[in-house]
């Protein structure tokens, strides 16, 4: 689990665009997610992004389908006097597989980028491996039927990636990648004639739902940066899924210098070496700071040569094993993203 501890705080970026138009920094490992949730309105989103900038966030995760785009752009514009564009990394996502007339897709992305107030994004992803019209508010078992969904993917992925490549060539994105691709989907993409140059893959992953070993191998073999979203979604079920060791986990977190189990969940993912970046979000300032500091805590722990540290990490490893063995409890208490799980199962045969 924690053997061969690795930490990837930053990943390399080599932008072909003028530095004023895109990031001159490497992709930060901690991203602020801008998906509006709960009772968040545009003004609340605007204030949340402002607080994230004040805490130190420079990586913002956006999407064409998010209603928060205009508010994010407004917050970035207001901060531009002290935080120039080349000190920001903007990741965004186009709905589904971008198939169809290229000019229509280009116009969609151009309108989205204009709302963000930038000339290009640093990283553009296909948001999910299906049709752009897919209703993510519905039931994935009904709306992502297999083998129909897999058949759509296999006949559409080449056209979608060709359009993504053209968007990159036309200067609307520095890097391109994918989101929510299963091992089978990513393998299919990488097997396209000429080979697909995939910079990053954003996927649902936390300690209860780690990336599949085969998927991690693909990332490593093809030097694809793995970005985990909802990395602490399991937290509501944590005390119930691992009751016999839950009382000791706060002590373990404190011994490692982690603020709480929310932060420890992120630190542990970094220490596993299976992800390069985490996407988190919060409107609470203390949580913002805790999430942003997870990278630094993981770096410090990875540098420790202390037997006591190994003992504490072993305790966390045991707790994580129990968590993964009690996924029913995790699901009952809402600690799972059903669409994220469904996408990871997409393939020629249901998993």
In sequence order, the β-bridge partners of residue 291 are none
Q: Which residue has the tokens 């004040």?
A: 54
Size of the chain, expressed as the number of residues it contains: 351
C-beta of residue 34 within 8 angstroms of C-beta of residue 53: no
229 is catalytic: no
Q: Which residue has the tokens 């469904």?
A: 342
In sequence order, the β-bridge partners of residue 179 are 202
> Which of 57, 66, 152, 199 is the catalytic position?
66
The rounded radius of gyration (Å) of the Cα atoms in the chain is 20
Work out the angle between the directed axes of helices 213-221 and 183-190 (0-180°, nearest 10): 30
Percentages helix, strand, coil for the chain (3-state, rounded to 5) are 50, 15, 40
Cα 241 versus chain centre, distance? 24
C-beta of residue 64 within 8 angstroms of C-beta of residue 92: yes
DSSP 3-state of 324: helix
Residue 341: which residues within 8 A CB-CB, separation 6 or more? Answer: 140, 204, 209
C-beta of residue 259 within 8 angstroms of C-beta of residue 293: yes
Catalytic residues, by residue number, are 66
């Amino acid at each position: 689990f924690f053997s061969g501890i690795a930490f990837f705080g930053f990943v390399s970026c080599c932008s072909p665009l003028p530095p004023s138009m895109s990031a001159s920094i490497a992709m930060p490992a901690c991203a602020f997610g801008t998906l509006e949730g709960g009772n968040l309105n545009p003004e609340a989103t605007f204030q949340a992004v402002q607080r994230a900038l004040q805490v130190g966030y420079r990586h913002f995760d956006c999407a064409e389908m998010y209603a928060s785009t205009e508010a994010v752009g407004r917050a970035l514009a207001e901060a531009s006097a002290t935080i120039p564009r080349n000190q920001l990394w903007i990741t965004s996502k186009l709905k589904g597989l971008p198939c169809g007339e290229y000019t229509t897709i280009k116009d969609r992305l151009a309108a989205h980028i204009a709302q963000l107030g930038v000339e290009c994004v640093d990283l553009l992803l296909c948001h999910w491996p299906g049709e752009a019209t897919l209703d993510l508010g519905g039931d994935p078992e009904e709306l992502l039927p297999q083998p129909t969904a897999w058949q759509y993917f296999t006949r559409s992925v080449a056209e979608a990636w060709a359009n993504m490549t053209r968007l990159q060539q036309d200067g609307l994105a520095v890097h391109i990648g994918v989101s929510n691709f299963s091992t089978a989907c990513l393998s299919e993409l990488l097997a396209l004639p000429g080979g697909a140059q995939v910079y990053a893959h954003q996927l649902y992953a936390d300690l209860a739902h780690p990336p599949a070993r085969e998927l991690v191998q693909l990332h490593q073999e093809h030097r694809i940066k793995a970005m985990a979203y909802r990395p602490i979604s399991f937290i509501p079920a944590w005390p119930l899924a691992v009751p016999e060791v839950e009382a000791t986990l706060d002590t373990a977190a404190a011994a490692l210098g982690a603020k709480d189990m929310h932060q420890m969940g992120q630190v542990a993912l970094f220490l596993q070496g299976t992800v390069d970046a985490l996407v988190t979000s919060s409107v609470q300032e203390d949580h913002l700071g805790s999430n942003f500091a997870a990278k630094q805590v993981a770096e410090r722990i990875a540098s420790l040569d202390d037997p006591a540290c190994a003992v504490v990490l072993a305790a966390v490893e045991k707790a994580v094993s129990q968590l993964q063995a009690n996924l029913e409890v995790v699901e009952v208490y809402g600690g799972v993203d059903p669409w994220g799980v469904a996408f990871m199962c997409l393939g020629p045969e249901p998993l």
